[in-house]
Chains A and B, each alone.
Chain A
């Protein structure tokens, strides 16, 4: 896939900030790039660059766009480091222009730089018929398909609430979602793929409690992580394929409970990105060689008191994807689409929410 490059920056006197590469046959083209409040600040022997950009993109295809993922690379700052920015639950018509907001902070030595600080390219576009375009270097096809399926599931649920209980019922659902989001504690987490050099005397294994989802193709059999205070290390989960199809990928959502009983979404443990073929009835174990440390916002360690796991997605070898139904996981953290709809209701009211549900 050939690429056409476009370099944009703050001014002609400075090195260009971005290099934007979209393939020539891309269904999305760059219209313009705006720089809002982008600034540079020395910090000790380093330089902090805040790049706040809004890219204006156009749907050059003949289909509606549901999701888009951009790959952001900054080889000069962190060799090998990369990032992605995805917008989901979109409804971009052919020929329509839409914004993508990227806020990037770079910390780099004060040495002068000649090349672009960051390069942006397209990793994938998901259309309304769930077809996909893009190099898919970050496996964004699967991720965006899962998000779109979750969004459809949740919109369908809220439409059924509207049909059964009317606008007041929908309003109550939104208020409950907003309350759950407000009650969700905010945590910071640090992750390192680590090699231990000293032992932790107080480290103890803590078993996962798994949420039973009857129609899940994957059954979690057991799971454990080593816990010491606010640190979780080397989580591992054993699963069995109880479906009749070969599974090529799965993710286990990981929820952590602190000493006050508050729960928060810590992350996920997942199968290898490629190469797995789990036959019907077969079992496997996945593990992460990672050390995670949790703290509350002011930097206070948060003790881990319990862990819950649930199967959050499964991909079969034919590319089909399974996600849990809403009733199985509705007491957990609200899904991205539920969060988006609740935010829309909070900011613009019920009429805007009804319009949004009717759009899809």
Chain B
């Protein structure tokens, strides 16, 4: 009798207890079909391993792995609950585990790509009481206080370099497109 899909998946991940692992390994040794199944699972694991080497730091992969194992167990159990009570065809059964694992992998990889492209940077969560806020950007520099504001605008286009000068001033520099002069503007909060 072949081991169940979930047992094989957990065996491939070395997530079974000693006796279960011993029993399945003896079966796999003499079962060509289960050997092929395990090779497929090993291929998937290798691919995940290769991707993990390039994955960003700061993600708790242990938690993700635990969650994934739980999902495998839950998914297989749920599949068994709603399955028709007929014997599965051999060819379909062979693809069941990859079919269950693939969506999870797909979500992981998509998440990794999105994380790489747009890391989720949380703005600092502190609450401050501001008297005056100074702002500097490509469009200009200015200050705002109690719904009143005062800005020096920069010309549209590239080449505007804005920066902070100490705690009470912002600075912008650009080449005036009309006069060709190098302009440096400051806004100060006192």
Choose one: B126, B135, B149; the contact of A198 (CB below 8 Å).
B126
**Does A109 lie within 8 Å of B148, measured CB to CB?**
yes
Instruction: Say yes or no for B72: interface residue by CB 8 A criterion.
Output: no
- Contact yes or no, A104 B151, CB < 8 A: yes
Q: Mark B139-178, 1 if CB is under 8 A from A, else 0.
A: 0111111011111111100111111111110110101101
Q: Please, which residues of chain B bring their CB within 8 A of the CB of A343?
A: 159, 175, 180
B133 within 8 A of A: yes
B128, B141, B144: the one within 8 Å of A291 (CB): B128
Determine if A187 is an interface residue (Cβ-Cβ < 8 Å): yes
Contact with B along A63-107 (1 / 0, CB 8 A): 000000000101001101111111111100000001101111111
Residue A266 is within 8 A (CB to CB) of chain B in the complex: yes
Q: By the criterion CB–CB under 8 Å, are A193 and B131 in contact?
A: yes
Chain A positions within 8 Å of B138 at CB level: 186, 188, 297
Q: Is B190 an interface residue (CB 8 A)?
A: yes
Tell me whether B77 is interfacial, beta carbon within 8 Å: no
B119 at the interface (CB under 8 A from A): yes
- Asked whether A190 lies within 8 Å of B182 as measured between CB atoms, the reply is no
Task: Check: A344 CB closer than 8 A to any chain B CB.
Answer: yes
A221 contacts B by Cβ under 8 Å: no
| C-alpha spacing A186/B167, complex, angstroms | 21
- Residues on the A chain within 8 Å of B123, using CB: 229-231, 293, 301
Task: Tell me which residues across on chain A come within 8 A of B168, comparing CB atoms.
Answer: 193
Contact B145 A189 (CB under 8 A): no
Interface size class of A (residues with CB under 8 A): 35 or more
Q: Is residue B80 within 8 Å, beta carbon to beta carbon, of the partner chain?
A: no
Q: Which secondary structure dominates chain B's binding surface?
A: strand
- Most chain B beta-carbon contacts within 10 A, residue among A82, A89, A201: A82
- Closest Cβ of chain B: how far from A229's Cβ, in Å? 5
A67 CB to nearest B CB, Å:
9
Please state if A83 and B152 are interface contacts (CB–CB under 8 Å): yes
Q: Do B121 and A81 touch across chains, with their CB atoms under 8 A apart?
A: no
For residue A339, CB closer than 8 A to chain B, the reply is yes
Whether the pair A230, B135 counts as a contact (CB closer than 8 A) is: no
The one of A106, A230, A269 that contacts B166, using a Cβ cutoff of 8 Å: A269
How far is it, in angstroms, between the C-alpha of A199 and the C-alpha of B154 when the chains are bound?
A: 36
- With both beta carbons as reference points, the residue of chain B lying nearest to A292 in the complex is identified as B164
Which residue of chain B lies nearest to A192 when distances are taken between CB atoms in the complex? B130
CA distance A230 to B160 in the complex (A): 21
Q: Which residues of A contact B (CB under 8 A)?
A: 45-46, 50, 54, 72, 74, 77-78, 80-90, 98-99, 101-109, 138, 143, 147, 181-182, 184, 186-203, 228-231, 254, 259, 265-270, 288-293, 297, 300-303, 333, 336-337, 339-340, 343-344, 347
